[in-house]
Amino acid sequence: MTESSPHSPTTARVADNLHDAVDAAANTAGNAEERLREQAEKAREVADYARVRAGEVVDTVARYTRDNPLAALGIAFAAGVVVASLTRR
């Protein structure tokens, strides 16, 4: 019969192993959280850059359209023809 008191060597060994496992899991979770936060920050930076670039592109297109209305109309018509021909297939 094995003894199961809190002072048993087996119980102490199991408790130590469990503590080590919990510590390792906590360390892994901490590292994962740190990497996740870094990736979230990078995603925010990319989104901010994309937002700024999109605004610049819209401004450029608006300026071009204002300066060259007939050319812009021709480009829009050609783009519509291409899209319509691609969607018919």
- Is the pLDDT reported for residue 11 higher than 90? no
Look at residue 15 in the predicted model and tell me its pLDDT.
87
Angle between helix axes 9-67 and 69-88 (nearest 10 degrees) is 130
Query: Mean pLDDT across the stretch 33-57?
Result: 96
Side chain identity, residue 35: R
Distance CA 3, CA 13 (A): 13
Query: Mean pLDDT across the stretch 49-54?
Result: 96
CB of 5 closer than 8 Å to CB of 11: yes
Q: What is the mean pLDDT of the chain?
A: 90
Give the Cβ contact number of residue 8 at 10 Å. 13
- Is the pLDDT reported for residue 77 higher than 50? yes
Distance CA 71, CA 80 (A): 14
